[in-house]
Structure 1
Amino acid sequence: MAPPLAHGGDLDAARTLFPDAPLPWIDLSTGINPVPYPGPPLEASAFRRLPSSADLAALNAAAAKAYGVADPAGIVAAPGTQILIETLPRLVARGRVAVVGPTYAEHEAAWTRAGHAVTPVADLEAAADVVVVVNPNNPDGRTWAASALLAYAERQAARGGLLVVDEAFADLEAVESLGGHLRPGLVVLRSFGKTYGLAGLRLGFALAESGFAARLAEALGPWAVSGPALAIGRVALADAGWRRDAAILRGADANRLDRMIARAGGRVVGGTRLFRTADFSDGPGLFGRLGAAGIYVRRFAAAPSRLRFGLPADRTEWCRLSRILK
């Protein structure tokens, strides 16, 4: 069995690496909004009873509006995007899969676990039964125009293939979602927890033409999403003003982080409003200094000079990070 993939957010690993680090830890190893959505108060019944079909329909309607999907039948709600990444490969006949990268490693891992022949590729020109692209990409923030992705989806559909576009970081970015252009041969993934700072709620969505969406929902089974997640997700997705404000505020934070990285001698190579990726002359050394100070960032085994920084949550965290980067 292959060893588990390394992910951001693993503070147990940070504590093992740096047992003497001061507390509390500042976890900058993820791309999760550090300022969470102020969730509404929940009725006790959301915890006591099984979610109803009306609850799910209300969530799907809010998601359809937020993501520009004309028909809520094209929305599949799930307990986090990760389960969708795991489920999709089991709904497709085994074949050749191209994953445009380097990118989020779970895509390649999930298709491989399901018995597909997976090849990492540098761009969309690969000829494969399934092509996976993350837009904006994690960790370098690379983006693709909607027109290019839709043209590729048309080619995939014509040959009986599939294009999977992971838009996990699209909510706060100036990229055009494919949610309003669903068609056969195209599946779009959307993350709720990253944008709204509520990753522990476990909520994500797949957007697809209604036939494939129905197959995916059936594979997930009944009551896939918890009652509290349905209630909070419905309210948050309907709050377009909060999303607009979050994009502005997190954009300012990302610019501030860029300046701090530059002062530390780093070269920003990409990112989104929720994370910045940079190269340093001594990436491992800086990772160690940050860790010893109780600040955990994301490192990459294949690129030791590269570190990815999430956004600090408040003034105290910004000051602690600034002291080390100076």
Structure 2
Amino acid sequence: MSTPWTWHGGGLTAAQRHFGGGDWIDLSTGINPHPWPGANDMAFDWQRLPEPEALAALEAIAASHFEVDPRHVCAVPGSEIGLRLVGALIGGSAQHVAPGYRTHGAMIAGSTAADLFTALNSTNNLILANPNNPDGHIIDTAAMRDLLTDRDGWVLVDEAFADANSAHSVAALVGDDRRLAVFRSFGKFFGLAGVRLGFVMAPQALIAALRDRLGAWPLAAAAIAIGTAAYADRDWIATTRGRLPHDAAALDAMLIRRGHRPTGACPLFRLIAIDDAHALFERLARHAILTRPFAEQPRWLRIGLPADAAALARLDAALADG
């Protein structure tokens, strides 16, 4: 089965066209359903190019959030672009952890898939996510630190889902003395994927090469303004970090009650395995609930976090309607 929904999360318009309209719930993306609220009240001057000082201010406040020296931070128009550009700059041979995010296999030409154990014990350039997508597996801090010792190649860590709990992040280890690059996504934790904002943290030489590839004005003024304000909202960040695990626990309890075994330590999504996940995907879609199936893993279904009790109840009812 290869459809728009097995390639990537999202595809809501395609789902509506295929399954019919209605009041859809999109649980396919793993994006925070409780977005940072300040963006709705902001206004932008669309006639002016973004000022370099505004971009620098965004990178500085994001660096404080990541606990990284601002000299090692470069804002990019989405972490997807950051992954691809850095992969092209590094080149060489590489291994990417599978299962994992599809773009990881395209970052470096000729990269080969490997299971986590094999990849962790290689000396090549290594591409992995922490937390991993789609299974939500987290590599603990000690194991991540071990990755950076006795390795000839780069370690490229996609931390797109790390903002919900940054305890296992290696961002603070980025420096000019090691081949480590870390990627963060703004849209997932802050729930504003349409802003198209991400960050690369890396040695200054790699950051300089990345800026050269990006050219002038890499971000829209709206992305700069929204990102700067959101990263400064420490109260919202702390509240959201407390809320997401609570909401994920409610999703877990419901899934278990319906006979499933949810896995994953990232509170923004859960993975379940059943004999025919594609059939369940289609059954949920007929209830106007979009989830994430996988062509290469026909037993897997990833389910994002419902926005509220009503959305959770709709998912519960749809799962019960077997």
Q: Measured at CA, do residues 92 and 57 of structure 1 come closer, stay the same or move farther in structure 2, by a change above 3 Å?
A: same
Which one-letter code corresponds to 1:65 in the other structure? S
| Alpha-carbon distance between aligned partners in 1 of 2:248 and 2:232, rounded to the nearest angstrom | 25
Q: What are the residue-to-residue correspondences of 1:198-237 with 2, within 5 Å?
A: 198-237=192-231
Which one-letter code corresponds to 2:42 in the other structure? L
How many angstroms does 1:281 deviate by? 4.1
Secondary structure of the residue aligned to 2:148 is helix
Question: Does 2:154 align with 1:162?
Answer: yes
| Alpha-carbon distance between aligned partners in 1 of 2:231 and 2:129, rounded to the nearest angstrom | 21
Question: Does 2:42 align with 1:48?
Answer: no
TM norm structure 2 = 0.91
Match of 1:249 in 2: 243
Match of 1:10 in 2: 11
How many angstroms does 1:296 deviate by? 0.6
How many angstroms does 1:177 deviate by? 1.6
Which one-letter code corresponds to 1:162 in the other structure? W
Q: Measured at CA, do residues 233 and 300 of structure 1 come closer, stay the same or move farther in structure 2, by a change above 3 Å?
A: same
| Alpha-carbon distance between aligned partners in 1 of 2:16 and 2:86, rounded to the nearest angstrom | 34
| Alpha-carbon distance between aligned partners in 2 of 1:117 and 1:259, rounded to the nearest angstrom | 39
Match of 1:179 in 2: 171
How many angstroms does 1:205 deviate by? 0.2
Q: What are the residue-to-residue correspondences of 1:223-302 with 2, within 5 Å?
A: 223-302=217-296
Which one-letter code corresponds to 1:30 in the other structure? T
Provide, for residues 115-134 of structure 1, a one-character-per-residue CA deviation record: whole Å limited to 9, x for no partner: 33423333343435310110
How many angstroms does 1:179 deviate by? 1.7
Secondary structure of the residue aligned to 1:119 is strand
C-alpha root-mean-square deviation of aligned residues, in Å? Answer: 2.0
How many angstroms does 1:153 deviate by? 2.0
Which one-letter code corresponds to 2:139 in the other structure? W
Which one-letter code corresponds to 2:248 in the other structure? A
How many angstroms does 1:272 deviate by? 1.1
Out of 104, 107, 110, the position equivalent to 2:104 is: 107
Identity of aligned residues (%): 39
How many angstroms does 1:150 deviate by? 2.6
Match of 2:32 in 1: 33
Provide, for residues 88-109 of structure 1, a one-character-per-residue CA deviation record: whole Å limited to 9, x for no partner: 121123x221111201111102
| Alpha-carbon distance between aligned partners in 2 of 1:217 and 1:132, rounded to the nearest angstrom | 21
| Alpha-carbon distance between aligned partners in 1 of 2:32 and 2:15, rounded to the nearest angstrom | 20
Which one-letter code corresponds to 2:124 in the other structure? D
| Alpha-carbon distance between aligned partners in 2 of 1:152 and 1:140, rounded to the nearest angstrom | 20
Moved more, 233-242 or 191-200: 233-242
Is the CA contact (8 Å cut-off) linking 1:97 and 1:128 kept in structure 2?
A: no
TM norm structure 1 = 0.90
Structure 2: runs of 5+ lacking an equivalent:
none
